[in-house]
Structure 1
Amino acid sequence: MTSLVAPEAPARPAPPARPAPATRGRALELQGFRGLAALSTVVFHVWQQYYRYDAAGAHPPLDNPYVGALVSLEVIDLFFVMSAYLLTLSYARAAIDGAEGSVRPWRVFLFRRAIRILPLYFLAVLVVWSMRNPTLPGDWRDLVQHLTFTHVFDRGRIFYTLGPTWSLSLEVAFYLALVVLGPLAVRACRGLRTRRARVALCASGCVALFALPAGWIAYAHYVRHVPHTDWPVYFGPQARFGSFAAGMALAVLLTALGDGRGRIGARWVTALSVAAFGGLYALSYLSAPENFAHTFYHPLAALLWSVLLFATLRVRRRERERVRWHGLLRARWVTAVGLISYSLYIWHEPVMLELDKAGLLPSSGGGFPVAALVVVLVALAVGTASYWLVEYPASLLGRAKDAGGASRDFYPEGSTTR
Structure 2
Amino acid sequence: MKHRREIDGLRTIAVLPVLLSHAGVSLFAGGFVGVDVFFVISGYLITGIILAEMDERRFSILRFYERRTRRLLPALFVVMATCLLAGWFLMSADAYQNLGQSIVATTLFSNNILLTVTSGYWDMESQFKPLLHTWSLGVEEQYYIVVPLLLALVHRFFRRHVPLALALVGIVSFALSLWSMRAHPVGNFYLLHTRAWELAAGGWAATIRAPEDRPGSDALSLLGLALIAAAVLALPEGSASPSPAILMPVAGTVLILLYCRRGLAYRLLGSRPMVGIGLISYSTYLWHQPLFAFLRIASSSRPATWQFVALIPVALALAWASWRFVERPFRSKAMPFRTVAAILLPAALALLAVGALLHLRGGLPGRFDVAPGADRPATFKQYNMRVVDLKVDRFAAGADKRALILGNSTGRDVVNMARETGALPGYAIVYRDDLDLCDGPALSAWKRALVEAATLVVLVYDHKPRNTCSGWQLAQRPDLYGKIVFVGPKDFGINLNPYARLPLAQRPRAQVPLSDIALTASRQYRAITPPTLYVDVIAALSRDGRHVPVYDRQGRILSEDRVHVTRAGARFVGQRIFQTPAWQHVIMRVEGAKR
Tell me: higher relative CO, structure 1 or 2? Use CA pairs within 8 A at least 6 residues apart.
1
1:173 to 139, 142, 154: 142
1:142 to 85, 102, 118: 102
1:43 to 20, 37, 52: 20
Distance 1:152 1:324 in 2: 38
Q: Which residue of 1 aligns with 2:200?
A: 245
Which deviates more, 108-117 or 142-151?
A: 142-151
Q: 1:92 to 1:377 in 2, by over 3 A?
A: same
CA contact (8 A) 1:112 1:398 kept: no
- Structure 2, unpaired ranges of 5+: 339-595
Residue aligned with 2:274, SS: helix
Shift of 1:38: 2.0
Which letter does structure 1 place at the counterpart of 2:204?
Answer: A
Which letter does structure 1 place at the counterpart of 2:283?
Answer: S
Q: 1:204 to 1:288 in 2, by over 3 A?
A: same
Task: Summarize the alignment of residues 84-103 of structure 1 with structure 2, pairs less than 5 Å apart.
Answer: 84-93=43-52, 98-101=55-58, 103=59
CA contact (8 A) 2:40 2:203 kept: yes
Distance 2:238 2:13 in 1: 29
Residue aligned with 2:23, SS: helix
1:183 aligns with 2:187: no
Shift of 1:236: 0.6
1:213 aligns with 2:156: no
Distance 1:270 1:168 in 2: 32
* Bigger fraction of residues in strand: 2
1:34 aligns with 2:11: yes
Q: Which residue of 1 aligns with 2:213?
A: 263
CA contact (8 A) 1:35 1:335 kept: yes
Task: Summarize the alignment of residues 147-158 of structure 1 with structure 2, pairs less than 5 Å apart.
Answer: 147-153=107-113, 154-155=115-116, 156=118
Residue aligned with 1:186, SS: helix
1:161 aligns with 2:130: yes
Shift of 1:172: 0.8
Q: 1:78 to 1:293 in 2, by over 3 A?
A: closer
Q: 1:92 to 1:397 in 2, by over 3 A?
A: closer
**How well do the aligned residues superpose, as a CA RMSD in angstroms?**
3.4
CA contact (8 A) 2:44 2:204 kept: yes
Distance 2:111 2:15 in 1: 22
Q: 1:327 to 1:283 in 2, by over 3 A?
A: closer
- Kindly, what percent of the aligned residue pairs are identical? 22
Shift of 1:211: 0.9
Which letter does structure 2 place at the counterpart of 1:250?
Answer: A
Which letter does structure 2 place at the counterpart of 1:79?
Answer: F
CA contact (8 A) 1:152 1:169 kept: yes
Which letter does structure 1 place at the counterpart of 2:36?
Answer: D
Shift of 1:279: 3.3
CA contact (8 A) 1:73 1:280 kept: no
CA contact (8 A) 1:246 1:302 kept: yes
Query: Alpha-carbon deviations, 1:54-83, whole Å to 9, x = none?
Result: xxxxxxxx3xxxx356x5362112211111
Q: Which residue of 1 aligns with 2:35?
A: 76
Q: TM-score, normalised by structure 2?
A: 0.49
Query: Alpha-carbon deviations, 1:66-106, whole Å to 9, x = none?
Result: x356x5362112211111111111443466xx4323x3x10
1:337 aligns with 2:299: no
Distance 1:289 1:218 in 2: 19
Shift of 1:162: 1.3
Across the two proteins, how many residue pairs are aligned to each other?
Answer: 324
CA contact (8 A) 1:351 1:375 kept: yes
Distance 1:332 1:277 in 2: 18
Q: 1:307 to 1:398 in 2, by over 3 A?
A: farther
Shift of 1:299: 4.4
1:376 to 297, 303, 312: 312
Shift of 1:46: 0.8
